[in-house]
Amino acid sequence: MISEFPLFLFTLLAGLSAGFCAVRALVPVAGWQGRRWTVPAAALALLGLGLVCVWFHLGRMERVFNAMANPQAGICQEAYCAIVLGVLLLIELVMEVRGRKAPRGLPIASGVVALVLAVVMGFAYVGNYAVPAWTDWSTVPLYAVADVAMGAALVGLFEPARYEKPALLATSVVAQVLVVLTFVLVGMHFAHVGRSTVPFAAAAVLAGAVPFALTMVARKKPSAELAAAMLACSVIGVAVARYAFYAASIL
């Protein structure tokens, strides 16, 4: 197992939450079976689980304080972005549970912060010159674009019928195409530094090509099963790419 496994889980879980928040800012989601509170609850749960993984990465309380006291550190920037996002989601959740519909500006604000978090995740590794495979600009879309692709699939799981509408359909297709291009670019950079491109080729198929094919089916006959398959393929594909990315730190 890679030593950065807790960070791998953090970026996967918190990234899914961030991508979900970013996409739902464009494509409003009514909630699971019409329950609006389930939307911020799901995003908050994923984000919370991701932050727990950061705790396991740091290990001791003094390391947490040291990390939070260094604004130049990527993990500090990620943590503060995640905290702001968590507060916004919690406010929305409380309002919805109490029967008060959250104002439209609240999920939009969450989406903006979530997108910043996804970008910060990528930049946290670009400056790590100890690992040449991480220093390329393609590292940023490896996080931001992949998070949005996963998030679009999670929106589809909440409301599969939205694949018949232009908003989610267009967002999903664009994200799937971009995630394929991203994994190709990352794979090319890994080949340049002498690393295997196989995981990124597999990730491009799993997170991009397969969900794209399923989306073309779902736009005519959407179903919960298709939406679940798209989400599973997207998350697994991103997980394969991210695991290979972290494994590059092993000399």
Span 58-80, average pLDDT: 65
In this predicted model, what pLDDT tens digit does every residue of 140-173 receive, in sequence order?
A: 999 999 999 999 999 999 999 999 989 999 999 9
Identify which of 157, 151, 170, 166 has the alpha carbon closest to the alpha carbon of residue 111: 151
DSSP output for 94-133: HHHHTT-PPPTHHHHHHHHHHHHHHHHHHHHHHT-TTSGG
- Tell me what pLDDT residue 62 has: 52
Helix and strand numbers, DSSP H then E, in the chain: 10, 0
Determine the pLDDT at residue 30. Answer: 85
Q: Residue written as tokens 């990315």?
A: 245
Grouping H, G, I as helix, E, B as strand and the rest as coil, residue 32 is strand
Q: Hey, what are 213's tokens?
A: 């094919």
Coil vs helix vs strand at 31: coil
Q: Which domains does the chain have, with CATH numbers?
A: 5-247 (1.20.1630.10)
Say what the pLDDT of residue 46 is.
Answer: 97
| Model pLDDT, residue 70 | 63
Mean pLDDT of the chain: 90
If you average pLDDT over residues 61-72, what whole number do you get?
A: 58
